[in-house]
Amino acid sequence: MNLKEIIIPEHCIFLKSRTKTEALLELIDLIKSSGEISDIEDLKKEIFFREQLMSTGIGQGIGIPHVRFEGVQHPLILTGVSPEGIDDYGSMDKNPVQLVFMFIVGKDRHKEYLRLLSLVSSRVKDENFRRKLIHAADNSEIARLLTDGDAS
């Protein structure tokens, strides 16, 4: 599985939002404008339903909202960077979330989701690498860092 085909600059943004709800909607809007998913309202319901079950704030400033969604032909990863942090994310370690990775994969693609999660989490577990993402110059640099794994 090649992250360069999945993580693209157009799906990487610096979040303007200061709340979890607004940040998730901001990421969903990236998909809305691309037309890759036809039922955006259903996608919103699924994402927020998942968040109600348990926050996807896993600690170390990282949130990984995710959904397996009907009709998704190829996996999508949307990346939101918030240098200031999102205080109300509800992260396990109670710290603000600065990096949000939204995974959207096909309904029957659990193994694919786990593989993608492993690839991305292996890159962001390093504190210096997370710092580079947070201080990236633009969306192209965010995508490059994530796909190259350039932690130098």
Q: Average model confidence (pLDDT) for the chain?
A: 91
Whole-angstrom Cα Rg for the chain: 14
Pick the CATH number of 3-147 from 3.40.930.10, 3.30.70.2190, 3.40.50.1110, 3.30.1330.60: 3.40.930.10
CB contact set of 80 (below 8 Å; sequence gap of 6+): 12, 13, 14, 15, 23, 26, 27, 99, 100, 102
Please count the other Cβ atoms lying within 10 Å of the Cβ belonging to residue 120.
21
Which run of H or E residues covers position 97? strand 97-106
The pTM assigned to this predicted structure is 0.92
pLDDT digits (tens, 9 = 90+) for 74-114: 899 999 999 999 999 999 999 999 999 999 998 888 888 88
What distance in Å separates the CA atoms of residue 103 and residue 117, rounded to the nearest whole number?
8
